[in-house]
Structure 1
Amino acid sequence: MGAPAGPTGPVTVGIDIGTTSVKAVAADADGRVLARTRVAHPVGGSAAGACEHDIDRAWRADVVEALDRVASDLEVVAVDVAAMVPSLGAVDADGRALSPGLLYGDHRGATATRDPALPGDSGELLAFLGWLAAAAPTATGFWPAQAVANHELTGTAAIDSTTAMTALPLFDMTGWDEARAAEAGTTTDALPAIARGSDAVGTVRDGLPAAGALVGGGTIDALGEQVVAGADDVGDVLVICGGTQITWAVATDWPEVPGLWTIPHTAPGRALIGGPSNSGGLFLDAVERWLGPVPDEQLDEVDAADLPVWLPYVRGERTPLHRRDLTTVLDGATLHHGPAELRRAAYEAAGFVVRHHLDLARTAGVDPQRIVATGGGTQARHWVRALADATGLPVDVVAVPEGAALGAAFLARCTAGLEPDMTAARRWARTSHRVEPDDDRVVAVHRRYERFRELTDAAVAAPPAR
């Protein structure tokens, strides 16, 4: 066999700061992945309700390490960093941590003014800012993960305007709101600069891998996933299988349902309805810690007609319930159920949450036809199987599981002037295989879904925990 073909056109790198790891890919003009890596980091906190990162590790050192791993043997023209939202940390003038990096759902972001109809965790980042300003009064800056990473790479703390929009109402759609910042105990000078569109925020500093490459303002991880997934037609459902499981059903017009978010699609004339849930990797990883590893061969042998039912609210729930106080429940487990049955049931619970989102979307006239699954969780075939069986829809699995990093690599091409805009990214969309729902499981799965909904309704009806 001959040597592998070289890259087609200029090479760009996308980096994704996720909940449990930093992923990075280097891609050529055709979207072919030339190098990929994953740098794991912990997520945790010292108190109940905490969800935080070590800023110096997850947002700085791991980003540089990931870039080094994928760029060391390539000529990289541009880099872009995606990350989960919202996130915020206090840093000194050199971008070093003076606090933990607070992540979505952390108790320090709780606010009584949260409006679940708004398309984002409205007010959470502003609450983070108030807590950080009091906890780290000597801080030079209060920056999201993208800004910390961009500062580490270029010396400039900046984010893109799309990420800034998730800071509502601290961001007023034109810039940082001085009055809101003052209420939180700081000034807008402590917040990162905002880059418009695909504008570069600088170049990678000398001494770092890919030195001299342009660096874009960054993006939201879910947007990076979306632009390269190929879920663009009405009836498509994008399910991002990450630490957070995100469901977006593609629709026309602007469907609205209580509990779900509606946001614009990047495709003209399309909208997305759905939102994020804690039923993804956050829950599934917790189940694995509780049970220990269960080999796939044991999961294959489970009687899929006889499983208990989980409520996967290991850290409360986001859409469609918007309740921070909900906890995990296991219902219907008996002596004959072992770790394999409980693990399969956990995957099924993730599928049930997607179905719950879609059932609600159907009340607004949305008609789901297929799922496009992306994210690292697509490597867990029982997760993908659960999505198909729980929803009754075929699941097309993307060819590149690091979708947020791949999308960021495409956005880096926009920063380098190699693409007209992000909508052209759909040409990078590729599917590896399709998983059809198993008709033999329909009756049992439907029965358990009804029980899941009964348990969920009862949990929501109970008074909030104090």
Structure 2
Amino acid sequence: MTPVSRTEVTIGIDIGTTAVKAVAADADGRVVGRTRIVHRLHVPAPDRLEHDADQAWRRGPLAALERLACPEALAVAVTAMVPSLAAVDSAGQPITPGLLYGDGRGRVPAAPDQPLPPMGEAAEFVRWTARQAPGAAGYWPAPAVANYALAGEAVIDHATAYTSAPLFDGSGWNDKACADYGVTVDRLPRVEMIGAVAGQVRDSDTMLAVGTVDALCERVVAGADHDGDVLVLCGTTLVVWTTIPDARHVPGLWTIPHTAPGKSQIGGASNAGGLFLTWADRLLGPGDPTTLDPQRVPVWSPYVRGERVPYHDPDRRAVLDGLDLTHGPASVRRAAYEASGFVVRQLIERSGVPVSRIVAAGGGTRIPLWMQAIADATGRAVEVSAVAEGAALGAAFLARMAAGLESSPIDAARWARTERVVEPDPAWARVMEERYRRFLELGEQPSRVSAVPR
């Protein structure tokens, strides 16, 4: 391999739900350094999801940058999940729990006939946090905490800010809306365009670039840009986006702009991702997958903490259907991964879009059972991205924009690479049809959360 000039390298740091991932990449998107800093995910109650924000959002990115040991990198950009929020003191150190997507403290009541849940989860996070820490110096999401730790700049991008609507109105923080939620504009982070120069990393010559939401960073380096391309992001959250030529409305699904000009994406985020699958793995003992009979697998309705797209129902709970004495750990584990694959198929079918290809990205691509279950459930080959840390890689590309080496996120498509292609197994795909129908039936007859003492 040709030696890499350190002056060509940029860094992307991804604050994820269970770890901070960081990569250093050269001009061609080759990863020349990577690291992972694990942090705890706290679930103190069924409707709570939070981080120790100091550990995960401040110390984690600092440790990741130190471990990469790339002092001559031109620029670094941070990406993170949304929404998230913590109160910070005057030194930028979090003083409240870091609230995460789906936490009940961000719930906004929906009208009975409302097709999609109302926006405002991040704004409700602000309201709750301001009540807990009214004297805080700031109320910041994860990337602002990280950017301040790295460079003394509490800055976020427009996409992250938009998740705080109505506090952010597209042009800036809205004074009246902020007052309604108990905060003042000066205690919210600065908002800049993605890829802009935000500052300089402390004690270095490395620039701090403005990153963006993790799913957007994954998308720009995935190469799923043509009509009918389906991007499946296999992380703690399962995210499915299908590229379409024009925006369209489908009940239960989200439609958002694509980074490619004139195109949109339809789909959304599901809780049937790594959070569910890791939980299922922890429950089960070891099992021999080679002994599995394709026709002897139960059916999971996988919503252990409610569901986002397409049901938008935080009170929905999981069901394991058809379990009998012949099923062992391997069968139940296979059922869990099939459920995740069934969600992918369900969102694709609901979109009504003819599929041309499926691209899988994210840390879950390292799990062969997950990739095979998606292929078997959809009956389609799954092209697995070569870099599992796709969000961090996308952030590294945005850092190149700050360094003046790139002009548009669209050009990041040249960094897309396929590591392998997973074909559906005919012996499994055929018999899964009946289980998929049962999966859909369970979705129409959801189990509900039991009353939880407060």
CA drift at 1:442: 2.7
Select which of 337, 340, 349 maps to 1:350: 340
- Tell me, yes or no, if the aligned pair for 1:325 and 1:465 is still in contact at 8 Å: no
Matched residue SS, 2:186: helix
Indicate how the Cα distance of structure 1 residues 155 and 463 shifts in structure 2: closer, same or farther if over 3 A, else same: closer
CA distance in 2, matches of 1:380, 1:135: 40
Matched residue SS, 2:85: strand
Select which of 93, 96, 99 maps to 1:96: 93
CA drift at 1:410: 0.2
Matched residue SS, 1:89: strand
CA distance in 2, matches of 1:300, 1:240: 27
Matched residue SS, 1:128: helix
1:172 and 2:162 correspond: no
- Tell me, yes or no, if the aligned pair for 2:252 and 2:310 is still in contact at 8 Å: yes
Matched residue SS, 2:315: coil
Partner of 1:149: 146
1:383 and 2:370 correspond: yes
Select which of 11, 14, 23 maps to 2:12: 14
Q: Deviations over 1:136-167 (max 9, x none)?
A: 11211000000000000011111011211222
Greater shift after overlay, 161-170 or 276-285? 161-170
CA drift at 1:48: 2.7
Greater shift after overlay, 36-45 or 235-244? 36-45
Greater shift after overlay, 102-111 or 433-442? 433-442
CA drift at 1:73: 4.4
CA drift at 1:444: 1.3
CA distance in 2, matches of 1:254, 1:201: 32
CA distance in 1, matches of 2:133, 2:349: 44
1:304 and 2:302 correspond: no
Select which of 29, 54, 57 maps to 2:52: 54
Select which of 162, 187, 192 maps to 1:190: 187
Matched residue SS, 2:221: helix
- Tell me, yes or no, if the aligned pair for 2:194 and 2:212 is still in contact at 8 Å: no
CA distance in 1, matches of 2:4, 2:114: 48
Superposition pairs of residues 322-401 of structure 1, within 5 angstroms: 322-362=312-352, 366-401=353-388
Partner of 1:43: 41
Superposition pairs of residues 39-438 of structure 1, within 5 angstroms: 39-70=37-68, 72-73=69-70, 75-113=72-110, 122-206=119-203, 211-292=204-285, 294=286, 298-362=288-352, 366-438=353-425
Indicate how the Cα distance of structure 1 residues 116 and 149 shifts in structure 2: closer, same or farther if over 3 A, else same: farther
Matched residue SS, 2:428: helix
CA distance in 1, matches of 2:147, 2:289: 42
Matched residue SS, 2:430: helix
CA distance in 1, matches of 2:17, 2:449: 30
CA distance in 1, matches of 2:45, 2:309: 24
CA drift at 1:300: 3.8
Greater shift after overlay, 35-44 or 120-129? 120-129
CA distance in 2, matches of 1:328, 1:227: 33
CA drift at 1:393: 1.5
CA distance in 2, matches of 1:413, 1:181: 34
CA drift at 1:45: 3.3
CA distance in 1, matches of 2:6, 2:182: 50
Matched residue SS, 1:384: helix
CA drift at 1:121: 7.4
> Where do 5+ consecutive residues of structure 1 fail to align?
none
Matched residue SS, 2:147: helix
Greater shift after overlay, 212-221 or 75-84? 212-221
Matched residue SS, 1:82: strand
CA drift at 1:463: 10
CA drift at 1:464: 9.9
CA distance in 1, matches of 2:386, 2:208: 26
CA distance in 2, matches of 1:300, 1:99: 47
Size of the aligned set, in residue pairs, is 451
> Where do 5+ consecutive residues of structure 2 fail to align?
none
Letter of the aligned partner of 2:228 in structure 1?
G
CA drift at 1:454: 0.4
Indicate how the Cα distance of structure 1 residues 426 and 433 shifts in structure 2: closer, same or farther if over 3 A, else same: same
Scaled by the length of structure 1, the TM-score of the pair is 0.93
CA distance in 2, matches of 1:132, 1:317: 24
Matched residue SS, 1:16: strand
CA distance in 1, matches of 2:383, 2:307: 26
Scaled by the length of structure 2, the TM-score of the pair is 0.96
CA drift at 1:212: 2.3
CA drift at 1:390: 0.5
Indicate how the Cα distance of structure 1 residues 223 and 386 shifts in structure 2: closer, same or farther if over 3 A, else same: same
Q: Deviations over 1:151-208 (max 9, x none)?
A: 00011111011211222222101111111111111111110000123221111011xx
CA drift at 1:301: 3.3
- Tell me, yes or no, if the aligned pair for 1:11 and 1:74 is still in contact at 8 Å: no
CA drift at 1:283: 0.2
Indicate how the Cα distance of structure 1 residues 188 and 168 shifts in structure 2: closer, same or farther if over 3 A, else same: same
